[in-house]
Amino acid sequence: MKNYVKKLESILLLTFVAFLVNAQNEQPAKPFFENGEAQIVKAFEDQAYWIREDLWVETEFDSDGDGRLDRMHVDVTRPRETETEGLKLPVIYNSSPYFAGTAGNDPAYFHDVKHELGEPGKPITHPTEIQRRGKRPIISTGHVNTWVPRGYIVVHSSSPGTGLSDGVPTVGGDNESLAPKAVIDWLCGRAKGYTTRTGNEEVKAYWSTGKVGMTGTSYNGTLPLAAATTGVEGLEAIIPIAPNTAYYNYYRSNGLVRSPGGYLGEDVDVLFDFIHSGDESKRAYAREKIRDGEMKEGMDRITGDYNDFWAGRDYLNKMDNMKAALFMSHGFNDWNVMPEHSYRIYEAAKEKGIPAMIYYHQMGHGGPPPLSMMNRWFTRYLFGVENGVEDEPRAWIVREDAEMSDPTPYKDYPNPDASMVELHLKAGAPAKGELAIQQPSKQGKETLVDNYSFSAEALAKADITEHRLIYVSPVLKEDVHISGKPVITISAASSKPAVNLSVYLVSLPWNEGRRVKITDNIITRGWADLQNYKSLRESEPLKPGKFYEMTFELQPDDQVIKAGQQIGLMIFSSDSEFTLLPKPGTELTVDLDKTTIKIPVVGGSEAFLNAIQN
């Protein structure tokens, strides 16, 4: 009752203030638009008059096994006019497992990576309990300063099993899609919200137009896509920034156990521990059912094979119902959540006829599109303003020396003028061999010796070493523009039943100066397990000395390699930043005559030939 009286007093005060304001203004405050963008409304800027409240939205699932439907903790920040003037506005919604705190990124809690391939590492150590942070009613202040002044309501929610939300974390499981769906259903009047976690006093979103957009970065960028794949009505547009769109692609690579960059030894169970900040009384159940049950059984760090566990955590498999307008954003040098994650979903959305646009930059993890581009996207699909965004170029690429606010428009990505240039290998080990556009005469085989104590950078810079094979183009006389995904076909043999296979495309000579961008030398990378040469779902031990042929893609890129550089293909085994690290000594032999690399070059073979011959 006290809360009700307090809320009534606040509403009366806001109504009185609005009366005074309106007495001096002919029209009440409302959104307005210029150049196809929602503009800042002066009356919406004053945070002192924002209404902030929290509530719990009931979902359609019970993932914590207590016999009650899980409720998600939600906060709302809205202009006072939604109360005093009855103004209805669209919503920018951001959901996350991080809002209430995390366990930290201590490598002590990661998996052991120093062991032979196909063998288990040491048992994992789990972190101590996360102590929830934050005070009600504010779950997060993210996005409010940007979007509330422009005439939006901003909503946040904590993911299942985190903060004050019920449920368990599943790291890509169905409840992580259905939780934001429930919040959107509530915003559209189809689900129930309550003032408390267990009570029956309802809260309605009478201030919502029923038009919702979602955005966020990394895990927070994954959840907009997760919600969109449910086909929920009212979710009109999403802007995922560096989203993880498939947990297999995040923790594996073509059958190989491969860590995300900067988190050597992380896996899906480590991420579970990292985010599990929910109700202490439910944590034992969650650990037993999810982390030590479903995850332990399905993640398979022994073979690295693709299976139903991973398929269920791949949003590409769930796009049948998706219809929200999609604006992807990613960095070409994001070696945490790699750039393929956005590209694969962008391609699928185009095939489905969904409005889709992509923004790529040359930096690392994160990095939203310019605010004006995001504004135009949300203005078009949430306010319905005909600003022509759907007729603009589909791809926007920040060139190497440009600011993030100054992307170059292209008809699409990859650049439609790019075509594959097939390059062949000429022997040269242990020094550098050559990349040739013409098939050379028989080159035979060359062998490297695995040793993880040499970094990829050290191997690329070395003039002579037995620990990698490298093949370089002639010095470029003209710039070469690469746009798309290089594809390698490799024929190789191992001296052991399993071997790491790492492939880098690099630009040489190595820049030893101060780096302004992250793009100076690494063009792109890829990893694979030769045991999966037939299938990602079924690996088979290698017969030592037998050659196996495997074709796989490297990460997508769009980069201009400057005249004076050489393009190099580097093949090595264990990657000290990404792979398991077995005892040095495994030999990897490559059949040069049956190995090729196809590089997507703007202008195709003619442009490449001109660059190496002029």
pLDDT above 90 as % of the chain: 92
What pLDDT is recorded for position 22? 46
Q: What span, in angstroms and rounded, lies between the C-alpha atoms of 314 and 311?
A: 5
Residue 10, pLDDT > 90, answer no
**pLDDT confidence band for 27 (50 / 70 / 90):** confident
What pLDDT is recorded for position 134? 86
What pLDDT is recorded for position 9? 52
Distances (CA, A) of 608 to 315, 417, 463, 477, 587: 37, 13, 25, 10, 33
List the catalytic residue out of 269, 334, 557, 591: 334
Q: Which tokens hold the place of 270?
A: 């480590």
Which residue is it, tokens 């269920």? 312
pLDDT in tens, 169-225: 999 999 999 999 999 999 999 999 999 999 999 999 999 999 999 999 999 999 999
Domains, the chain, with CATH or none = 30-410 (3.40.50.1820), 418-613 (2.60.120.260)
- Whether 334 is a known active-site residue: answer yes
pLDDT in tens, 108-140: 999 999 999 999 999 999 999 999 888 899 999
Q: What span, in angstroms and rounded, lies between the C-alpha atoms of 94 and 147?
A: 12
**pLDDT confidence band for 228 (50 / 70 / 90):** very high
What pLDDT is recorded for position 513? 57
What pLDDT is recorded for position 447? 98
- Whether 218 is a known active-site residue: answer yes
What pLDDT is recorded for position 4? 41
pLDDT in tens, 246-276: 999 999 999 999 999 999 999 999 999 999 9
Residue 515, pLDDT > 80, answer no
List the catalytic residue out of 218, 253, 342, 574: 218
Q: Side-chain half-sphere of 493: how many Cα atoms within 13 Å? A: 13
pLDDT in tens, 431-483: 999 999 999 999 999 999 999 999 999 999 999 999 999 999 999 999 999 99
Which residue is it, tokens 């559209």? 188
Question: Among candidates 247, 238, 91, 240, which has minimal Cα distance to 170?
Answer: 247
Over residues 521-546, the mean pLDDT reads 97
List the catalytic residue out of 276, 365, 424, 481: 365
**pLDDT confidence band for 2 (50 / 70 / 90):** very low
What pLDDT is recorded for position 24? 45
Helices (H), 216-339: 219-228, 247-251, 268-275, 283-286, 296-298, 308-311
What pLDDT is recorded for position 393? 97
- Mean pLDDT, the chain, rounded, equals 94
Q: Which tokens hold the place of 503?
A: 């492939």
What pLDDT is recorded for position 23? 42
Residue 311, pLDDT > 80, answer yes
pLDDT in tens, 334-368: 999 999 999 999 999 999 999 999 999 999 999 99
Over residues 214-239, the mean pLDDT reads 98
